[in-house]
Amino acid sequence: MAEAEQIKSWVESARQGDELAVTKLLGTYHPILRARVESRLDATLRARYEPEDVLQQTYIQVLKEIGRFENRGPNSFINWVFTILDHKLIDVRRAANRQARAVSKETPLVSTGLSGSYLNLLDYVYADSETPSRVVRRDEALCALMDCVSSLSDSHRQVLQLRFLQGMSVTDVASSLDKSDGAVVALTKRALDALKKEMEHLGEFSRG
């Protein structure tokens, strides 16, 4: 009962824009959400995405959309997050299909672990954009991204390096930085926003 009351309190605070309450809710439900992702990622998607990748995208969307959430009962919040998560799973499947088609038409970049990691980060920066530059100027955008990462604050650069360049899970990053999972999700969102602004400043990001 105490836990239910705590969750109710966090939900109400989250609806008022309390980011800490959102991160506490996501931390509480993280095991359930991870299990849902793992049960829905087939072998093809697992070759391209880790469960944490889908969860990261989901959590970022939750943080963006929490002001629109309507509390209609005890399970409203988790059901709302489930809906966002399921949509993200659809998105990654579509993205995987697009990437497969693009690879068949493009001359690939030099394949190295480093460039592959930065491409993963580039996908997050361009996640809300369908601009053709995402494909046509991918090599130029990748070089710009590397420069922009180096210009970020220490905390933003560190969390992006751990999550996307070293491929660490949210939980592992949290342990490394001595933070909660929810705090890492929030920090990652702020770091991605800062990186996108740097890219926009260089003219390498378009809202096409």
Helix (H, G, I), strand (E, B) or coil at 208: coil
| pLDDT tens digits, one per residue of 39-59 | 888 777 777 777 888 888 888
State the total domains in the chain. 2
Angle of the 51-65 helix axis to the 19-40 helix axis, nearest 10: 140
Do residues 92 and 134 share a domain? no
Per-residue pLDDT, 206: 46
Residue 123 scores a pLDDT above 50: yes
Do residues 91 and 26 share a domain? yes
Per-residue pLDDT, 110: 38
Do residues 58 and 144 share a domain? no
| pLDDT tens digits, one per residue of 74-100 | 889 999 999 999 988 888 787 766 655
Sign of CA dihedral 74, 82, 130, 63: positive
Q: Of the residues 105, 131, 164, which one is the last residue of a structural domain?
A: 105
Helix (H, G, I), strand (E, B) or coil at 178: coil
Report the CATH number at residue 174: 1.10.10.10
Do residues 57 and 138 share a domain? no
Q: Of the residues 105, 122, 157, which one is the last residue of a structural domain?
A: 105
The reported pTM is: 0.57
Residue 162 scores a pLDDT above 60: yes
Per-residue pLDDT, 135: 42
Q: Categorize the per-residue pLDDT at 189 as very low, low, confident or very high, splitting at 50, 70 and 90.
A: confident
C-alpha–C-alpha distance, residues 137 and 115, integer Å: 15
Per-residue pLDDT, 134: 42
- 51 and 41 in contact (C-beta within 8 Å)? yes
Report the CATH number at residue 10: 1.10.1740.10
Do residues 166 and 111 share a domain? yes
Q: Of the residues 85, 105, 125, which one is the last residue of a structural domain?
A: 105
Range of the domain at 1: 1-105
Per-residue pLDDT, 33: 92
Do residues 115 and 166 share a domain? yes
